[in-house]
Amino acid sequence: MIAEMQIRNYSPRTISSYVSSLRSLSLFYNLSPDLLSLNQFKDYLSERVQVDKISNATINQAIGAWRILQCDILRRQWEDFKVKRPRREKKIPQVLSPQQVLSLLSSISNVKHYALVSLAYATGMRRNEVLQLCIKDIDSARNMIIVNRGKGNKQRQIPINNSLIKTLREYYKQYRPLKFLFEGYRVGLSYSATSFCRILQRACKKAKINKRVTPHTLRHSFATHMLERGLNLKQLQLILGHNAMKTTSIYLHVADMSSIKMPDLLQPNESCDETEPK
């Protein structure tokens, strides 16, 4: 199964998650997953939902692994083993105001930590994309970051401004990382996700921000603030690396559109010939 997913260019993280999902299913019945029926799989999911309170994301992950097993490995018809995915939860993302972000950054005195949080906010990159970013992925001549390990292993480009480049240069001169832009205590290994979250927790406490702020909160804040600054939805979709515009459009629900000048549709358009109504 691992080889099948590698051929299909699944990310290492997805492969690990799918294998872990099938391992849990197998341990639940103490049987190899290829010997289990559709009803057994549904009963397993039902038990996990009721007892373990697993999220929709975990359910979808289990269904994805189940489908690969049945269709790609065992060559069975999906209609015979199909499980409907749960309804997507429609949650409005929590964001920080621009003033809160600036206050958060002002509370960080460590050069490395400041550069890390600045990069995450100013680009809207996912947590793992930030942590897996290599030095060679930054094209300062073009003011561009190349994300080679995005979700689904899709490559994309993110424009960056001069102030962020200046911040990253100051950090690089002081720390001189070898491979990953942000490395942990061991040279050549990327910075840990846990440490990233702790930086934000400490900064929030110091800045007196009474919200649970995660790296993904910075991504949500970036997207919302970009819309408020006038970036169009299609451009934002490309920067964030979303497959569907529907995913990006959720930020319309939280963006403050009060600064946008709306055309007055009740007044005649000056570019059109004005004619008297009959």
Question: Which residues are catalytic, by number?
Answer: 126, 151, 216, 219, 242, 251
Residues paired with residue 139 on neighbouring β-strands, in sequence order: 144
List own/partner pairs for 121-124 with CB under 8 A and 24 or more apart.
121/218, 121/221, 121/222, 122/160, 122/161, 122/164, 122/222, 123/158, 123/160, 123/164, 123/222, 123/239, 124/158, 124/218, 124/219, 124/222, 124/223, 124/226, 124/239, 124/240
CA distance linking residue 62 with residue 37, whole number of Å: 15
CA distance 33 to 35: 5
